[in-house]
Amino acid sequence: MDKEQEEIQFLGIFDIYKEAYKIIFSWRKIFSQITLTLILPLSLISLAHIQLSELLFIRMNRNEIILDKTKAGTPKYKKLSDHISSEWTTFWLFKAAYFTFLLIFFLLSTSAVVYTVASIYTGREVTFKKILSVVPKVWKRLMVTFLWVFIAFFAYNTLALIVLFATLYSINSTYNADLVIGIILLSLVWQLASVVSVLEDVRGIEAMKKSKTLIEGKMWVAILVFSKHIISVFLLQFAFQNLVVHGWSLEEVDRVGYAIICLLVLLKLILFGLVIQTILYFVCKSYHHENIDKLALSDHLEVYLGDYVPLIKADVQLQQYDV
């Protein structure tokens, strides 16, 4: 990010992509280490979840079909019924474990990438050892923000359901469109709030408020970047589902090959997405004419290493400049 702060605000979608590629390529060693250590487990968990969920569903569905054909009240019926109940328990425990590990590695990956990009921007020396020492401290701040985002999503969806039942399902396409837009905006706020939680002295609901303010003015850029990333991930999962999970007509070697390709693409998508959302933060800061004091930001990052006395909040907050 060697551009002047005043120029960053003019970065368009393709400029942001170009900047992200330049950062990753220039610091490919450090990003490769982050990918292998944190993003690889995250990707494996995501794809393995699709495969294992399918296997569990097939098994449960087969047993339920057999149960429907079995006479009720017989010992065989009771045995099958107990077995299916046990399988559902296993399924929900599997889901709980999946979301737990997915969240942990997602927050760890976000912490590592945001800290790395910010360190590169401020010209700080960044090593993989430093990143590993910082990540456990940073991800706690992200967890607080995530919990508030979760509460916001829960409240939003609950309100949507209340409106749906209150109107006796007489919902038109406009309502559905507004619902989707609301979810997209909440997702955008979450993404930028994650960066804010790492780079500024706020977290939780305050980070969400700051994120919402920053997005204003660059809303369409943020929406297009977010939408393209989500669509890419969706298409990848669709390909994995059809070529690997449901690819029974293919040779086993081909399915394994497609699985490896999907894994490699997902690694790049996650890394690219995390770098882009950090760059988008700097673009939004520049758009709102908030001067990013590299020295103050560098000192703020130093706090995570435990080698620097934390600055007071007024010093850590990034200053505004007049145009």
Per-residue pLDDT reduced to its tens digit, 219-266: 888 888 888 888 999 999 999 999 998 888 888 888 899 999 999 999
pLDDT confidence of residue 190: 85
pLDDT confidence of residue 126: 81
Task: Let me know how long the chain is.
Answer: 323
Angle at 4 between CA 3 and CA 7, to 5 degrees: 85
pLDDT confidence of residue 174: 61
Instruction: Give this prediction's pTM.
Output: 0.82
pLDDT confidence of residue 1: 58
Containing 88, the helix (H) or strand (E) segment is helix 75-122
Show the tokens assigned to 45: 């968990």
Residue type, 63: N
pLDDT confidence of residue 309: 37
pLDDT confidence of residue 170: 55
Extract the residue ranges of the chain whose pLDDT is less than 50. 307-323
CB 154 within 8 A of CB 183: no
pLDDT confidence of residue 24: 93
Distance from the first to the final alpha carbon of the chain: 21
pLDDT confidence of residue 130: 84
pLDDT confidence of residue 291: 66
pLDDT confidence of residue 322: 45
